A and B are shown apart, each in its own frame.
Chain A
């Protein structure tokens, strides 16, 4: 039985939300009702568990993840290292390591994921130069992928490889296809990775921290490219990141994941204006800002709990300043079908300030 706990304001002297969620570009105040594209759901995940066999019982690495990504939507999944973001990507791509099990329903374009053409999804990775074969030319890897997607002559595949490199903004594609990954910069390699993904004409592009290993300028270029291609190729993007600001800047909707549990999800504007879950609000206060006043950076004590010793309740409870008695025992329910929702027993706190 789930216990609903007090929704009334707690009297503690919390800083106001406006202080905590000071995100560039959202300070104007007026909350725009989020204009979500009312399109068909493309990916529907419900009750997804990913687990590994422990010594006594199974250890759950992802716990009842449910989320929906609509066609053409830019969905950002935000979480820190070890939260299970990459595991979710692997599950969606069908490349989960064999010692892990997954259960739950995943529907893609109305049908079960396993039955859908695998080409509908493509993935790019954090460190592009490690995810490209170092002893094969860019051209070899690209034409190989092209020829797996569409049968055709070597010449046609070569021409298509060149046009793909053009599509990702590589200036000199004809000389680039003769090069090896180590001869290109990180940003160029990430463009090549994106070209490899585009070769499959995906409807969902899974981007696992695609810019985290790149410098800031390149990061912006790659993000611009992903946004442009998303419109040009009509793809949905599942963008995985630990960078909350980047997610707010680029995405339509955001999901926040902590220790394998999805804890908050909603339209980007709504989350930027009014984060509900204590963890999300902590994330905001951990973002450094440039200011004349000396502001202490808030760091959360402790770390993400080890999957083997996670309790039955909310995994954030041990680090949460607002935990109530039920938090450690009962997993808070995630209210479905809301534009913005959080899984927390003590949500009253957030609403009080607004």
Chain B
């Protein structure tokens, strides 16, 4: 089993590397097709000499293929170029803001997992009962309400009316509560519905009928039989969720002025700070690919049927 796991991981790693390479190329093509940075920075009345000098400084005077190779080489060395605005290494700028985003992500993910899994399990156990309907209704609302709207409602209630929590910034842990709840709301709704569906399916499957004829107690059926089966599809959703949290928090970070990379991303786009935007997009993409890689490897741990080598 160990050797197949090893080979399987290698193949998945190669695929992940390929995905990242493709993404890096796409970012290059896309960011160079949105407009000429020289015009944006120097304005329409710059002299041709200024334009040529500036383009040379940014390396924009070379043929596009050479630009691409230089760009790819730099990324391999971990260098995303200097920020046009902060005049520092773009990656350092991103890392300065990464901590705040990670704190927000971890908190909201923990909240989403606890609330979503919990509500989903309870709903699946009491299918078609009142609790199940309640979970369905609440999660529908959670799914439908857009994050920016929920953020404003929460601010209105808890910051302006009740004056319990701050509206923005990251001065203390209390600033974390509202953004974390906002991000967790939609994610826990997705997780609750998904958990309910896959767990109900597992609980209704033939081997549960067989387990019941053997008088296996219902807690054992849930913990030892249904949840391990439901874990396989739930892992997939969790993987996508973690990958999406990096980019999904952009709106919430902006609304709450949370000093994370989402906020940085928006301001960098406004400033046409291509190296920073590039670094954030590639980083977010890499997180997505890597979480999927981790999920793929976890599948093998959770599902014995995936342990065959034909993947």
Residues of B within 8 A of A (CB-CB), count:
22
Of B84-92, B137-145, B205-213, the one contacting chain A is B205-213
- From residue 205 to 243 of chain B, which have CB atoms closer than 8 A to chain A? 205-207, 209-217, 220, 224-225, 228-229, 232
Distance between B37 CB and nearest chain A CB, rounded to angstroms:
53
Query: Which residues from chain A contact B225 at a C-beta distance below 8 Å?
Result: 133, 136
Which residues in window 107-163 of A have CB below 8 A to B? 118-119, 122-123, 125, 127, 130-137, 140, 144-145, 148
**In whole angstroms, what is the CA distance A58 to B303 when docked?**
43
- Option from B207, B211, B224 in Cβ contact (under 8 Å) with A134: B207
**With an 8 A cutoff between CB atoms, is B17 at the interface?**
no
| B contact residues around A165 at 8 Å (CB) | none
B304 close to chain A: CB less than 8 A: yes
What 1/0 mask marks residues of chain B from 52 to 82 whose CB sits below 8 Å from any chain A CB? Answer: 0000000000000000000000000000000
Contact A148 B210 (CB under 8 A): no
Q: Are B215 and A132 in contact (CB under 8 A)?
A: no
Compute how far the CA of A93 lies from the CA of B215 in the bound complex, rounded to whole angstroms. 10
Contact partners of A122 in chain B: CB under 8 A: 213-214
Other-chain residue from B206, B210, B229 in contact with A135 (beta carbon distance below 8 A): B229
Shortest C-beta distance, A338 to chain B (Å), equals 33
Are the C-beta atoms of A133 and B213 separated by less than 8 Å?
no
> Within 8 Å of chain A (Cβ to Cβ): is B305?
yes
Chain B contacts for A196, CB-based, 8 A? 210, 214
A95, B213: Cβ atoms closer than 8 Å:
yes
Q: Which residues of B contact A136 (CB under 8 A)?
A: 224-225, 228
0 or 1 for each of A154-194: is its CB under 8 Å from B? (1 = yes): 00000000000000000000000000101000000000010
- B302 at the A/B interface (Cβ < 8 Å)? yes
Which B residues are CB-close (under 8 A) to A200? 214
Known: A133-B225, A135-B302, A136-B224. A148 touches B209 (CB 8 A): no
Nearest chain-A residue to B229 (Cβ)?
Answer: A135
Q: Which residue of chain A lies nearest to B231 when distances are taken between CB atoms in the complex?
A: A135
> Which of these, B205, B210, B215, B303, contacts A118 with CB under 8 Å?
B215
Bound: A123/B304 CA distance, A: 26
A contact residues around B304 at 8 Å (CB): 134-135, 137, 180, 182
Chain B residues with CB under 8 A of A123: 210, 213
**Does B209 contact A95, Cβ atoms closer than 8 Å?**
yes
B307 to chain A, nearest CB (A): 9
Dominant secondary structure at the B interface: helix
Q: How many residues of A contact B (CB 8 A)?
A: 26
Task: Given A130-B207, A134-B305, A180-B305, decide whether A148 and B228 contact each other with a Cβ distance below 8 A.
Answer: no
A127, A144, A182: the one contacting B206 at CB < 8 Å is A127
B213 touches A132 (CB 8 A): no
B220 neighbours in A (Cβ, 8 Å): 144
A95 CA / B208 CA spacing, docked (Å): 11
- Which A residues are CB-close (under 8 A) to B224? 136, 140, 144
Nearest to A145 among chain B residues (CB) is: B214
Minimum distance in angstroms from B7 CB to a CB of chain A = 19
Rounded to whole angstroms, the CA-CA distance of A131 and B211 in the bound complex is 8
| With A136-B224, A144-B224: A93-B207 Cβ-Cβ less than 8 Å | no
Q: How far is the CA of A75 from the CA of B1 in the complex (A)?
A: 45
Contacts of B212 in A (CB 8 A): 95
Given contacts A125-B206, A182-B304, A182-B305, contact A135 B228 (CB under 8 A): yes
CB–CB A131/B210 < 8 A = yes
Query: Known contacts A135-B302, A136-B225, A182-B305: does B214 contact A130 (CB below 8 Å)?
Result: no
Q: Indicate if the CB atoms of B214 and A131 lie closer than 8 Å.
A: no
Given A125-B206, A180-B305, A182-B304, A133–B215 Cβ distance below 8 Å? no
Q: CA separation between A136 and B215, bound complex, in Å? A: 17
Inter-subunit contact B215/A130 (CB<8 Å): no
Give Cα A144–Cα B305 distance, bound, in whole angstroms. 21
In the assembly, what is the distance between CA of A337 and CA of B211, in Å? 37
Given A118-B215, A125-B206, A135-B302, 11 extra CB contacts under 8 A: A123-B213, A130-B207, A131-B207, A134-B207, A134-B229, A135-B229, A135-B232, A135-B304, A136-B224, A145-B214, A148-B216
Give the B-binding residues of A (Cβ under 8 A): 93, 95, 118-119, 122-123, 125, 127, 130-137, 140, 144-145, 148, 180, 182, 193, 196, 199-200
Nearest 6 pairs of A and B residues by beta carbon: A131-B210, A180-B304, A130-B206, A133-B207, A123-B213, A135-B228
